[in-house]
Chain A
Amino acid sequence: MRKLYALIKKNLKLIVRSKSSAVMIVLGPLLLIILIGAAFNTASIYGIRVGVYSESYSTLSEAIIYELNQNNYLTQKVGSEQSCVEGIKNGVFHVCAIFPKNLQVSQGGQITFYVDNTKTNIVYLITETILAQISKKSQDLSFQLTKGITDTLEDIESEINDKQALVEEIKSINEQKEVTANSIGTGLEEMKLDHTISEIPLGSLEPEVTDGGKNAFKAVENKIEIILKDTSTADNKKNSLLKKVKDLSQDIESTKLSISQLQLTFNKIKKDISNVKKTGVNEIVNPIESEIKPITTEKTHLNFIFPTLLVMIIMFVSMLLTSTVEIREKTSKVYFKNFITPTSEAIFTFSNYATNIIIIALQTTILLGAASYFFYDNIAVSIKTLLIALFLMISIFLFIGIILGSIFKTEETNTITVISLGFIMIFFSSAILPIETLPSVIKGIASFNPFYISELALNQIILFQAPLKSVSNHLIRLAAYLVGAIILTAIVKRVAKRRQ
């Protein structure tokens, strides 16, 4: 223990007394986080230059351009679609918007955007922001158009209301006519006109008619026959009329039905219009409203990337620091003198680890303190879990550093390796691109990446105050890595010693 204490004391004194190392070790990460913090301490994107082209700018096009200008976009009209696209290639514009000739709502139209998708990290952000602006304008237009439709419907409803009384009147008149027709029909039916000559007892009268009266009788008989003939004609006409009255009656009935149907239709139209009115224009334009509610209350990018930044700093500083100390010690003139003392290699290795964990712990405390003061009020909620996670991840990277320091002989090679290794780990994580956007093979590799696991754990602990149980899966994996790193360190040290 005395030996370990002496080694740690010596290491710390050497670091503190070497001004450049002290400044780099203590202030370096702070400076880094301040600079990155300043860069990411915003949720907006500024200064997006939008090239605009249209063969003929309509009022609508101008309105959209005005809208973009109002929202801090720098628009610039260019002479042709080609020069607009060239502008993106040359970096003059971030986005190029091509408006159709005389863009009109009535005619519809498609606005084409050209984006520089080589700038993977911002292209989606820019596209999304621009489309949001256009969508807003488009929504305004939809609102106006829909408003026009609902106004028209309202007029129609008013007209229907007006005409409904007329329909009622027609219906009433129709009903009266039906009654009249029915009464005519009944009257006609009651008229008996189907008399025959047999009904008149002329045969029994004829014998009693004198010869002198026979002529008169004959004349009467003839007259009766004529009357009966006329009656028969009248009966036919009555029947014909009766049929017409019945037809009329049926027509009236049919009209009545039509009027009823018309009334029903009117009522349905009124009900539909009433429903449309009740729904409201806004609901028609935006039948489903969406609101994205963040699961944290933080508002700037820094809040979200802080855990990733912290892991990044821990990773680079830990690996660089331990490997550099390891190489410096190994190549120092004192190395041999240290070697011939009765102090085991394990104590030297552990002293390197312990010294650096003190330094990294100090740096991390400062970073977390600043973070807690500025934007994470409730970091203390899961402080125990956070400390466990930090201990595991720092230890893993420190031992990786020791391994690298044991393998390499020069600081230059080591630095290049640490940077390369660091970037590989960053690439196979969500730090540059969301891991979900990467191919499944990469995702599979990333799941073994200690940086990614650390990032996941810290995100959950710092941003969502996840309890120990929730992140235990990540912590167990990190602990397994730590054990692996310690074993690997022992193996590498043994091999390196044999090579001497």
Chain B
Amino acid sequence: MGIFELKGVTKRFKDSLILDNISLDIPEKSIFGILGINGSGKTTILRLLVGYYKANKGDIFYNNKKISKVKKKLKQEIGFTTQENSFYPKLTVEENIEYFGALYGLSSKTIQNNLNKILKLVELDHVRNKLSENLSGGMQRRLDMACSLIHVPKVIILDEPTEDLDPSLRKEILHLIKKIKSIGTTVIITSHRLEDIEQVCDEVAILHNKRIIRCSTIDRLKSDYSDYIRYEEIHLQTEAGNYEAIIKNISGYENHYIDNHRLIIKTEKAEKLLHEILHIIENTKQRLLFVEIQRPTLEDIFKELTKNNGKGFLKRE
């Protein structure tokens, strides 16, 4: 039994069904990822966990107790970082963290003690007296996490922590997440970036079509959908629309078809094959109108996974 457990939880807003009978078990002291496309209901799950929303059906447990029974304890032991920075830009780094410390009911001494440690952990010690609005994007994201860590929570929930960050800042944040785990905090993270989840999570749940369609370790998941991420698609269109010469002269592809005057070729080595195709087009003196390599997105993988409507996929190792 994990630190959080959701059993048959359904959430709807008026007539709109957001989550349909989902069940989850989030292990303690791990980094647990919730994967899903935008609008899939990831944030709703997180808000259900902290009691901000109430489930229309089902139960949510925190340390084996219904969250409605341990509201205060839950609030004391959880930190939450939202998608967008949630601190006061007109307060300094220190003031923001102190403010949240006070809201968590910590004494001044504890706040000062924790503040110094947290500032070192998030590497914001040198800007502690700077107004938060004047920090860089990465620093602001770290400050947001620091505000959620001041009371040293047992669980920290990070909602899309790498969203809208450039690669270097994303790396910075992922590194910080690992550091947070190292101090014994359970991390629950949502993202639609597979690569981010791959880097930090121990376990992942895939949310699609209002349901959890997969919940397993990263390694198991990778092996499960490795077939889908292997292939890329070359989409091209010539003026003549005669693709026979191309098909005859290329090899090393999975399959091909024509859709709306465009030739679509599924292959593992798209760039190499495209190079060959461009030579053929040049030699046959055809005029190229459109060409593009489409790599599978997480959404594509979800689509593949949900071909069977998710049946049989909900399992844990």
- Which residues of A pack against B, CB within 8 Å? 2-3, 5-7, 9-10, 13-14, 17-18, 332-343, 500
Contacts of B85 in A (CB 8 A): 333
A14 with B75: CB separation less than 8 A: no
How many angstroms from the CA of A13 to the CA of B94 in the assembled complex?
13
Question: Taking A2-B102, A2-B105, A343-B103 as contacts, is the C-beta distance between A18 and B76 under 8 angstroms?
Answer: no
Q: State the majority secondary structure of interface residues on A.
A: helix
B102 with A5: CB separation less than 8 A: yes
Q: CB < 8 Å: which of A10, A336, A342 contacts B99?
A: A10
10 CB-based A-B contacts, threshold 8 Å: A2-B105, A5-B102, A6-B103, A7-B102, A17-B91, A337-B82, A337-B147, A338-B103, A340-B80, A341-B75
How many angstroms from the CA of A336 to the CA of B47 in the assembled complex?
9
B105 with A342: CB separation less than 8 A: yes
A340 with B105: CB separation less than 8 A: no
How many angstroms from the CA of A6 to the CA of B97 in the assembled complex?
11
How many angstroms from the CA of A229 to the CA of B147 in the assembled complex?
162
A342 with B86: CB separation less than 8 A: no
Question: Taking A337-B82, A340-B52, A342-B72 as contacts, is the C-beta distance between A6 and B104 under 8 angstroms?
Answer: no
B228 at interface, CB cutoff 8 A: no
- Which residues of B pack against A, CB within 8 Å? 47, 50, 52-53, 72, 75-76, 78, 80, 82, 84-88, 90-91, 95, 98-100, 102-105, 107-108, 131, 147-148
Question: Taking A334-B87, A342-B105, A343-B103 as contacts, is the C-beta distance between A13 and B95 under 8 angstroms?
Answer: yes
How many angstroms from the CA of A78 to the CA of B49 in the assembled complex?
83
Contacts of A10 in B (CB 8 A): 88, 91, 95, 99
B91 with A337: CB separation less than 8 A: no
Contacts of A336 in B (CB 8 A): 47, 52, 80, 82, 86
How many angstroms from the CA of A343 to the CA of B75 in the assembled complex?
9
Closest to B102 in A: A6
How many angstroms from the CA of A341 to the CA of B52 in the assembled complex?
11
How many angstroms from the CA of A335 to the CA of B52 in the assembled complex?
11
Contacts of B78 in A (CB 8 A): 340
Contacts of A338 in B (CB 8 A): 103
A341 with B104: CB separation less than 8 A: yes
A333 with B84: CB separation less than 8 A: yes
A341 with B86: CB separation less than 8 A: no
Closest-CB distance, A36 to chain B (whole angstroms):
32
Q: CB < 8 Å: which of B53, B87, B98 contacts A6?
A: B98
Contacts of B91 in A (CB 8 A): 10, 13-14, 17
6 new A-B contacts, CB < 8 A, other than A336-B52, A340-B80, A341-B75, are: A2-B102, A7-B102, A13-B95, A334-B86, A337-B87, A339-B52
Contacts of A500 in B (CB 8 A): 52-53
Closest 3 CB pairs of A and B: A6-B102, A341-B103, A342-B75
Contacts of A335 in B (CB 8 A): 86
Closest to A341 in B: B103
How many angstroms from the CA of A6 to the CA of B95 in the assembled complex?
10
Contacts of B107 in A (CB 8 A): 2
Closest-CB distance, B134 to chain A (whole angstroms):
12
How many angstroms from the CA of A343 to the CA of B98 in the assembled complex?
15
A341 with B100: CB separation less than 8 A: yes
Contacts of A14 in B (CB 8 A): 88, 90-91
Closest-CB distance, B203 to chain A (whole angstroms):
23
Closest to B131 in A: A17
Contacts of B147 in A (CB 8 A): 337
B102 with A340: CB separation less than 8 A: no
How many angstroms from the CA of A260 to the CA of B48 in the assembled complex?
120
Contacts of B52 in A (CB 8 A): 336, 339-340, 500
| Residue from A3, A9, A10 whose CB has the most chain B CB atoms within 10 Å | A10
How many angstroms from the CA of A336 to the CA of B91 in the assembled complex?
18
A340 with B88: CB separation less than 8 A: no
Closest to B108 in A: A2
How many angstroms from the CA of A3 to the CA of B104 in the assembled complex?
8
Closest-CB distance, A259 to chain B (whole angstroms):
109
A3 with B103: CB separation less than 8 A: yes
How many angstroms from the CA of A18 to the CA of B133 in the assembled complex?
12
Question: Taking A10-B91, A14-B88, A14-B90 as contacts, is the C-beta distance between A337 and B100 under 8 angstroms?
Answer: yes
Closest-CB distance, B238 to chain A (whole angstroms):
50
How many angstroms from the CA of A336 to the CA of B85 in the assembled complex?
11
Closest-CB distance, A3 to chain B (whole angstroms):
6
How many angstroms from the CA of A14 to the CA of B99 in the assembled complex?
12
Closest-CB distance, A438 to chain B (whole angstroms):
45
Contacts of A340 in B (CB 8 A): 50, 52, 75, 78, 80
Closest-CB distance, B106 to chain A (whole angstroms):
9
How many angstroms from the CA of A9 to the CA of B99 in the assembled complex?
9
Contacts of A18 in B (CB 8 A): 90
| Residue from B53, B88, B95, B104 whose CB has the most chain A CB atoms within 10 Å | B88
Closest-CB distance, B104 to chain A (whole angstroms):
6
How many angstroms from the CA of A337 to the CA of B80 in the assembled complex?
7
How many angstroms from the CA of A487 to the CA of B235 in the assembled complex?
66
Closest-CB distance, B161 to chain A (whole angstroms):
14
How many angstroms from the CA of A340 to the CA of B48 in the assembled complex?
11
How many angstroms from the CA of A341 to the CA of B105 in the assembled complex?
9
B102 with A3: CB separation less than 8 A: yes
Closest-CB distance, B174 to chain A (whole angstroms):
22
Closest to A9 in B: B99
| Residue from B99, B103, B147 whose CB has the most chain A CB atoms within 10 Å | B103
Closest to B104 in A: A341
Closest-CB distance, A74 to chain B (whole angstroms):
54
Question: Taking A10-B91, A18-B90, A342-B105 as contacts, is the C-beta distance between A337 and B72 under 8 angstroms?
Answer: no
A333 with B86: CB separation less than 8 A: yes
Question: Taking A2-B102, A3-B102, A341-B104 as contacts, is the C-beta distance between A17 and B90 under 8 angstroms?
Answer: yes
Contacts of B99 in A (CB 8 A): 6, 9-10
How many angstroms from the CA of A454 to the CA of B108 in the assembled complex?
42
Contacts of B72 in A (CB 8 A): 342
| Residue from A7, A332, A343 whose CB has the most chain B CB atoms within 10 Å | A343
A342 with B82: CB separation less than 8 A: no
Contacts of A343 in B (CB 8 A): 103, 105
Closest-CB distance, A210 to chain B (whole angstroms):
177
How many angstroms from the CA of A100 to the CA of B131 in the assembled complex?
78
Closest to B147 in A: A337
Closest-CB distance, A24 to chain B (whole angstroms):
15
B102 with A342: CB separation less than 8 A: no
Closest to A10 in B: B99
How many angstroms from the CA of A2 to the CA of B111 in the assembled complex?
12
Closest to A13 in B: B91
Closest-CB distance, A347 to chain B (whole angstroms):
9
Closest to A21 in B: B90
Closest to B52 in A: A339
Contacts of B104 in A (CB 8 A): 341-342
Contacts of B90 in A (CB 8 A): 13-14, 17-18
A3 with B50: CB separation less than 8 A: no
